[in-house]
Amino acid sequence: MAHKILIKRNPSVPFRVLDGECFIYSSFDDRFHHLNETAALIWMNCAKWVSIESILSAISKDYETVRSEAKKDAESFIKEMSNAKLLFIK
């Protein structure tokens, strides 16, 4: 994925943060998704169109991680959520 790509969560997908944990309900496949901390950080930062670079900066700010590993994990999550119609990519 290139850095010029923007992502945004699907506004029709309900989610809740309970006791610091994020849960997404997908009516597309009738299942709940329990997000880990990094995935929840990505999800919460996608309320508006945002670049992958902005997401990586947020991850780097909150976690000690190698940027290349963070990029790989973020892109994997974004691709999975996009395929499930939970995130939009443009």
Report the share of the chain in percent with pLDDT over 70. Answer: 97
Which pTM does this prediction carry?
Answer: 0.85
Check whether 1 has a pLDDT greater than 50.
no
* Residues, the chain: 90
* 1 touches 52 (CB < 8 A): yes
**Cα 44 to Cα 38: distance, rounded to the nearest angstrom:** 10
pLDDT in tens, 31-69: 999 999 889 999 999 999 999 888 888 888 777 777 777
Q: Which long-range contacts (CB under 8 A, 24 or more apart) does 13-22 make?
A: 13/86, 15/43, 17/44
Report the share of the chain in percent with pLDDT over 90. Answer: 60
Phi, psi of 34 (to 5 degrees): -100, 115
